[in-house]
Amino acid sequence: MDGTLNGNKKRKIARRVLVSGGAGFLGAHLCARLVEDGCHVVALDNLATGSIDNLTPLLGHPHFRFVRHDIVDPLDARAGLQAERIFNLACCASPAQYQIDPVKTLRTCVDGALNMLKLAQACGARIFQASTSEVYGEPEQHPQKEGYRGAVSTVGPRACYDEGKRCAETLFFDYHRLHSTDIKVARIFNTYGPMMQLDDGRVVSNLIVQALRNEPMTIHGDGSQTRSFCYVDDLIEGIVRLMDAPAEFTGPVNLGNPTEVTVLELARRIIDITGSRSRLVHRPMPTDDPTRRCPDIALARRALDWEPRVSLDEGLRRTVAWFERRLMSGTLMSGA
Ligand code: NAD
C-alpha cells in the first residue's frame, strides 16, 4: 500500500481523529496509517485484548496520544476527545476472547456504539463502525452480498458478538436517520497480519504459532470449512477509502478478500512457508462456527475502487516473518 487515494493523490490531512480499539490488531495498524497520512490521532482502548506494545512505534509521536478508556462508559467531547473523524473498532474480535465475558461483549457492541455515536453527534464528526461478516451468521447465500440479511443464532455462544454487532449497525442507521449523523459501516471479513496476538485463538495466528513451534496444528472438524483471508494492509486501505467516500455512501459495505480457501489448505500453505514438522490434529467444530464464508465485494469495487492486492501466500509470508521475530524475542520456540 502506498498511502494514495485511487493510486495518484497523497493524503496529508491534519485531521483530528479518534480510534477506539486503537491498541488492538486492526486499530494499531489503522493508527499508524492515519499518523502517516498526517492526522492527529487519539487511540482509545481499555486494553482488554489490545496491547500498548502494538503502539510502541507511535508513542512519543507529536501527533499521537493514547487514552485508556472503556467505551461502555460515556465519553466527554470536552475531555480532549473532540474529533472530526471517529473510527469505532473497540470490541474483542476472537471468539475465545469475546466469550470470556459475553455480557461485556454485548455491552461493548451496543452501549459502546451508542456512546461513540453520542460523541460523534456532539463533535459533528463522521463515524465509522467496524461491523463484521458475522452479521451473516451461518449464511444460506454464497458469496455473501450486503443485501443478505443473515442467519444468526440469538441464543448461541457467539450471539453476544454477532447480535451485538447487528444491533450496533441498527444504532448507526437510526442515528443517521434521526440526527443525520455522517456514518460509514464496513462489514469486515477475516483479516490477518502482523500484530495479531500469539494466543488469541484465531485460526491464522493459531496455526502459524503451532507450525513455528513444530507443535500439532489444530484443525476444527475435517478442515473443509472455508474462509477468505484478507491481509491487513488491504483491509486498512479499504477502511480509509470508505471514510473518504462521499457522505451519501454510508455502507454497509463488505471489506474482505474473496479468495476462498479451506482451513486444511490454509494449514498446508503455512506448513510449506514455515517448513514446519508439525502434523495436523482434528478437534470438534465449535458451536455455530460457520461452514462457508466469502464476501461479494462488487460494491466495494464499484463505490470505493477497492480490492485486495496482497495474495494469501505473500500475506502469510509477511505474517510468519513477524511471528517468527516475536517468538524469537520472547518465548523460546519448542521442538526447534
Ligand atoms: P482486537 O481484539 O485485536 O482489538 C479490539 C480492541 O478493542 C482491543 O485493543 C481491545 O482491548 C479493545 N476493546 C475491547 N473492548 C473494549 C471496550 N469496552 N472499551 C475500549 N476498548 C475495548 O480485534 P481486531 O481484530 O483488531 O478487531 C477490531 C474491530 O474489527 C473489532 O470491532 C472487530 O469486531 C472488527 N472485526 C475484525 C475482524 C478481523 O478479522 N480482525 C473481522 C471482522 C470485524
71 touches ligand 1 (CB under 6 Å) = yes
pLDDT digits (tens, 9 = 90+) for 279-319: 999 999 888 777 888 999 999 999 999 999 999 999 999 99
Task: Kindly give the residue spans of alpha helices, DSSP state H, lying in 72-158.
Answer: 95-98, 102-107, 113-123
pLDDT on residue 331: 52
Strand partners, 133: none
Q: Report the pLDDT value the prediction gives residue 254, as an integer from 0 to 100.
A: 98
For ligand 1, mutation pick of 20, 49, 184, 255 (most atoms within 8 Å of CB): 49
Question: Where in the sequence numbering do the catalytic residues fall?
Answer: 161
Please report the pLDDT score of residue 7 as a whole number. Answer: 43
Residues paired with 137 in a beta bridge: 151
24 pocket-lining for ligand 1 (C-beta < 6 Å): yes
Give the three cell numbers for residue 248. Answer: 451519501
Residues in contact with 123: Cβ distance below 8 Å, sequence separation at least 6, in sequence order? 77, 81, 82, 83, 84, 86
Residue 120 backbone zone (phi > 0: left; psi -120 to 50: alpha; other: beta): alpha
Q: Residue 89's pLDDT is what?
A: 98
pLDDT the model gives residue 3: 37
Gyration radius of the chain's alpha carbons: 19
Burial of 118 per CB tally in 10 Å (0-12, 13-18, 19+): middle
Ligand 1: residue whose CA is nearest its atom 34: 93
* C-beta of 100 in contact with ligand 1 (< 6 A): no
CA distances from 182 to 88, 119, 146, 159, 201 (A): 13, 12, 19, 28, 35
Q: Would you state the pLDDT for residue 11?
A: 57
CA of 91 to the centre of ligand 1 (A): 4
The finding on whether 132 has its CB within 6 A of some atom of ligand 1 is: yes
Ligand 1 centroid, distance to 90 Cα (angstroms):
5
**pLDDT (0 to 100) of residue 6:** 44
Where the chain has pLDDT below 70, the residues are 1-12, 331-336
Q: How many CA atoms are closer than 13 Å to the CA of 319, on its beta-carbon side? A: 31
Burial of residue 277 (number of CB atoms within 10 Å: 0-12, 13-18, 19+): exposed
Is this complex's ipTM strictly greater than 0.90?
yes
142 burial via Cβ count (<10 Å: 0-12, 13-18, 19+): middle
* Cis check: omega of the bond before 143, within 30 degrees of 0: yes
The reported pLDDT for the residue numbered 184 is: 98
Ligand 1 binding pocket includes 72 (Cβ within 6 Å): yes
